[in-house]
Structure 1
Amino acid sequence: MVTSVVLPVSAVKAQENDRSELQHTQRLSKRFPDSAFLLLKEMYSKAIAGKDMQTMGTCLQQMGQICYYLGNYPKALDFHRQADKIFRETNNTEQVARNLNDMGLVYYQNRQMAVARKQYEEALSIYHRSGDREGLADTYGKIGHLYEKQKQYDSAFAFQRLALQQCADTGQQQLVAKIYENLGSIYEDLEKYDSAWYYFNRSLQLYDQVNDQVAGIEVINNLGDIYRKTCRYREAIGETHKALARAVIINDSYQKGSAYRDLGKAWHLLGQNDSAYYYIELSRKAAIDLYSAENNRQTAFLSVLFDIDKKNDEIVQLENARQFTVVITIAVIIVVVLLVVLGWVTISRQRLKIKNEQMLSKQNQHIYETQKDLMQAELANKQLQEERLMEELEIKKKGLTSYTLHIIEKNQSLEDLKNKLEIMIKDDKRDQKKQLQQLLHQINENFNHDQYWNEFRETIEQIHQPFFDNLKKYNDDLTPNDLRMLSLIKLNLASKDMATLLGISQDSLRVSRYRLKKKLNLENGESLTGFVQSL
């Protein structure tokens, strides 16, 4: 169910008054642009106060049209852009399209043809969607005019004809008149003067029907140009006099000066230079008057713009000051709140810090006590291990000593046995000689049995491992026999016992000790026993 919104009677009347005033300023802007601009500015201020976006956009658009009419293209473009923003925000597509066409004219005057065409294309797209034939006709005509100025006459004709098709049965005589004028201008550029005259004449008829005096004067001047270009100077003078008469009625200085100039050209072409000089002089005076009036109008308009900009600056400054005050107030409130929050957070964090420190202290104390217990247990364990190792070492030392004594006793018994057997061999009992030699050989083999020496070496290495590591630093080429002798020296055995263990004579032992001193690079006076005991 759709509900209709009924506006108050006062609001409806206010909207009607705004539309009426905007129509009035539209008519006033051509003759008194500065006055129209002031009225528009007042309406714009009221629209801002009443938040009437539609009136704001229309005022900006008309102010842009006035700036364009007075040749202030940058300012015109600025107003049109502001209007475009408002129309798009309010989703007023019809006004967006019209404003785009106005912007296209400004870009065209700035010789930005590509940008102008872009504005026209967007407006054309909007009119196509809405089905606005009048808007399509106006936009097609502007695009055709753009092609004409670029001397692309085929495209210019195509778009003007499209514009004419859209005007059929619309009753927009002024728009049709403008299209006819554009077609006449194209034919004139192509020097097809009959066709140009035809379209200019039809355009003039329509302008007269809608009482557009300024546009009618321009068309009459175009007809005079055609007569002059076709050497029909008398007819040209007649047309120009018609334009002059109309310009005098509406007191249009620009059109009067243009008519005087055209009359001077025509009389010059007829060879009557006195008349040509007369009208050229009138044209010059009209141009001076027009220039003076234009200067006064531009000065007044610029003064109005200056006052408007000054007021805008004051408004902006006041608004900025108000915003600054608001921002300062908000900032102070925020700072106070932040300080309160910061104080609360600081106190809370301090309390939390103290609590955490207490908890951490308890945890550290517990960890310390636990670590202390663990260290004590570990220390006790190490002491037990050390005691056990010392006991094992002592047992191994006792075993080594017992083992060494056992070997010495065994070798001494074997030595005695050997001596006895040698005595027996010297006897003349030849029948026992062979068996006794075999027994002697077996005894000799027992002197150097490796199994005993391997067990002996493993035991002594467990006790004196650094001793063997240090020996390698002095000489890495020591033989197993060398290592056996050095081990026995390390045990501090007597030379006789060492000879018995090794199964050699004491003389051989002295030779072996001498060779070891050479291998270990010991000097002659240095003691081998002292060196070994120091390792």
Structure 2
Amino acid sequence: MTKYLITLLFFLHLTELNAQPTSDSLKNVLRTYQTRDSVRADLLNQLSYNNWIVDPVKAEALSREALQIAKDQSYLKGMAMANRSIGVANWAQGNYEEGLDVLLTALSQYQLLKDTLNIANVKMNTGLIYHEQNSFDEALRYYEEALSTFQQLNRPKRSANTLNHIGELYQKQGLIDLAKSKFNEAFSISVAEDYRYGKSTALSNLGMLFQLSGHLDSALIYTNRAIVIQNQTNDLNGKASNLYNLGIIYMKKGDYQLADLYLQKSLKEAELISSKKLKRDIYLKLKQLAKDRGNYQQALEYAELYNIVKDSLFNAEKLREFVRLENRYELEKNAQELKLKEQEVSLLKRDSQISALWRNLLIVGILAVIIISYFIYSRQRINIKRKKELFEKNEEIYRANEALSQAELENARLKEIELNQKIEFKNKELTSYTLNFIQKNELMEEVKSSIDELKKTQDQETIRKLNALKKTVSSSVHIDKDWQDFKRQFEEVHSNFFSVLKGKYPDLTNNELKLCALLKLNMNLKEAATVMGISPESVKTARYRLRKKLGLGREDNLVEYVISLEDDIA
């Protein structure tokens, strides 16, 4: 009881000062207050909030502890805030699917609490998730609903944050003038309110805008101003993004040494906040930088790191649709639970009113009290029985739906494994066929060369017979037939490759399409020459003409470009 009073007085003191509790003061209170109740849940949630932009990994851990305590105490407000914090922390780390799931849960909980401000806060946070997933219309809808509420409630700082997010959304869509207008509006509000986070975010966004539009000196000024504020506020997430932006600016200016320095600094910050998306982008730029500097071994290492992070994000992306369906089911289930709770509250209120009425009538007589008491007892038994039956029915429906969802997920996983095995088998078949194709033609060429050597040392009759043999060998090299067989095998693995390539570049000849297929398989000059039945020098000439038709410059890699066409086909 003493600890509870100390904690209560602490929060009252903060309220009088109209100040947010600092992380150090919250840690001190948490060390002394170990009771797992709603007070500790609020302390953990507040400490998590203080770490949103400083250390999202730590913020998530704190809110998960708060969520468990709030669930144990049936403390709805604590659960809502914990879910919101977990959602924001996952957004900062690039875990968008889990972030969206818990944010939608928080939204339904705040709607039950009828907390208008926090409903708007969660909508703004949810808009961030849809923004990152390029669901622009959905993101803008959430942003505008949140902004309207913040303006009605006279919350200028929250309005500034939302305006910054709307500007980022417009910038991502290429609407530069609209984006700049929103950033400037957010900056003006933040200056008027002396809101450092809002100012640094607006400056960061303007720096990015100038970088993208090629105004590099202006971009440097705005980005460095933002970093100064972020160092003061310990905004690790914003600082990591701005260091990355500085790296890109110096790459564009041709200062590779400074570009590498800032990209490496950004990578360290991204590691601290566990941002997979930012790490992926940094590795890609470091690969390009190493390639431009002629360090191809280092470029290859960065490319491998980039692919590891990219694959991790891609695998999570494949689960997005399943998670959204699951979220829809959870929302429907939550709505049903809320309706049942409202019905229970209504029933309890009605029972309370009836009980109060009969208590006032106790004066009438003992007989009336007995009859009324029996009536109330009977009604309560019926209500309890109905509630129990309803609960058991809902529980049965939930278990059935959960089993169905698990079965569908397992089925999808097995289908994916089967598809990957088929693709791997087809690739092996294609590789085997290509090697046999090359070995056959090489063998025929060796036989023909041997015949030419024998002709130099033989009489005319033998030479005549050798010429006939050479003609027979030459006729066995069915380039066109072999190519048709190869094309059929190739298209079984890379379906629509030729049709998409022909649609994108209609002027390509059949031989150029054939060369593209060999480049797709990463064949060298000698192998390609063997398959095509021409000399390596002719292959070089054909590759040069193909580069011109594809519109590639000297710095572009022909093989990498042809291989990358797989993404266009997908």
TM bracket, shorter-chain basis: 0.3 to 0.5
In the superposition, the TM-score normalised over structure 1's length comes to 0.48
In the superposition, the TM-score normalised over structure 2's length comes to 0.45
Bigger radius of gyration among the two? 1
Higher relative contact order (CA 8 A, sep 6+): 2
